[in-house]
A and B are shown apart, each in its own frame.
Chain A
């Protein structure tokens, strides 16, 4: 995990590099989340100052978008699709299986810090439903069995 001091430096570097772009706030927030893993609340004043915005405006943007998070994610983030196409292929029962298996609900992280579970409304993989994404990897026609084996593969990699 990034130390508080170096994190502030990182945030400073990112805002300095990107603040002059037109509409810079989203690119800055993306860069911070890509680097730090989330957007720590303590950075909000720093970002607001660099862009001449109020802290409320920056907080409003972070909380408006589902993708941005203000808490550290687990080691892996599982995005499970809840949309219609995946529902037509058993997405709902896969969803309850995954939640039971991990022992968490959406927007939560397992106690061991390994997995965060997020809902997603379409991964554009609707021809291969149900779909999920783990970190940057996308999976199609996910079944309980393939979900388990994917997790086993991830743990063996670690």
Chain B
């Protein structure tokens, strides 16, 4: 019998040396004449412990981390293959409190299995959702998704079932499913983790979507910055084709579904759904006017479902366990779970999947353990580069779409970036304007020109020039962007800018809060 050792193939784990650790383990085992089977699993998402090595023992999986190449010989010396004691030993993986306190539905398999091993996927409840869906009428599949309360996890939180229903009810000889995998928001990495760590769940979710609305072609629009996800997806798609889970006759149902990965090319705007479709059609990623809705006239003018990775990856468990099961998690109108991503200046950065409703403070301190630098947390940006900066006084807000909207913030894709008290919020506001200027598609004037003028006004403010004129000018400009932009890039850049100004006026050179108005 050989020992089974797990070393993650997740790109964050690789960025901390996982490939070198894997090679060292193989080499050391050979040197000692021990037979091991090395599995490259996804990451469990406890990044301060990566590279986290796990071993399969009779008592379950035992974790060690963070492991560096120089630790490998001593791990063998401590008989880690049978769970031996070592300074890096973390105990049973499933008992780690960071993991144990989570509610992993979408990420149920991520980190446990070999991502590109179809048998492993099936053994761990994979493809149960599709097999149920194939026995159901299309409108019943859509109803299950509607009943689950699932809302678009890309950020806009639009009910997924309603979108699917529109496509189902729009007759057309060709329809499309697009997975928006252009995860450009900084501070977010859950799409990447699932694509690298459990790509079959996304493939299954897209196949279910295709069967539900009558679409026979799917595209995953993946950002070029994710080469490891690209390899994992292509490998999984190839295996799904070979085993009959994709193709002209999905599992003998007589229904076709084809899937292809297309790469973006470093344009943030292509995460906006209409721009994404322009890009897929081979054009510049200029935002389209809506209406028509993509669900009626989308890719190549055909009815198209465009969903985020996490939305689609949440579909298999809904079809497996039922819409009610998923809906029973969460609060208010935010149903199910949200894979939150703790990033930036935080001690225990990682992936935390929880039902909606936990407060930001619990997330930052109970899970995150406070800032990485040990200094006080000054601000957190939730929901990517277009999300508001929240001060400490708002940390008790529950993570819920409506609760965030009520404080003029967004939950977005669930990315949480932490800043300690060395951060200068005026600099961050300037960066937001600069980012908008770099990434604007140029179609609408408020975004194209407003962002450049905004950067200039922020430069003036940072220099301390004529604040009584420049602060109202900045507010006026933000108002134009907010109300006059075609899409969320221009329309939401004011969120980080104005929230920084409102909550941290002293960083803008305003010492009396009344002057900030």
Contacts and interface: CB of A to CB of B under 8 A. Distances in A.
Contacts of A83: 186-187, 385
B385 A84 contact: yes
Contacts of B372: 89
Interface of A: 22-27, 29-30, 51, 57, 60-61, 64-68, 79, 81, 83-89, 120-129, 131, 133, 136-141
A66 to B, nearest CB: 4
A126 B265 contact: no
B198 interface: no
Nearest to A81: B186
9 contacts: A57-B283, A67-B264, A87-B423, A124-B189, A127-B47, A127-B341, A128-B12, A128-B50, A140-B16
Interface residues of B, number: 60
Contacts of A127: 12, 45, 47, 189, 341-343, 349-351
Given A83-B186, A140-B16, A89 B345 contact: yes
A131 B341 CA distance: 16
Contacts of A138: 11-12, 14-15, 228
B186 A85 contact: yes
A61 B284 contact: yes
A8 to B, nearest CB: 21
Contacts of A126: 186-189, 341, 343-344, 349, 415, 417
Contacts of A137: 14
B266 A85 contact: no
Contacts of A68: 265-266
A124 B263 contact: no
Interface stretch (B102-110, B274-282, B475-483): B274-282
B410 interface: no
B182 to A, nearest CB: 11
A29 to B, nearest CB: 7
Contacts of B47: 127-128
A67 B285 CA distance: 13
Given A23-B280, A122-B184, 15 more contacts: A24-B282, A26-B280, A61-B282, A61-B284, A64-B441, A84-B187, A121-B439, A122-B187, A124-B192, A125-B15, A126-B343, A138-B12, A138-B14, A138-B228, A140-B15
B431 interface: yes
Contact of B262 (A26, A60, A87, A88): A26
A129 B191 CA distance: 18
B419 interface: yes
B282 A88 contact: no
B283 A88 contact: no
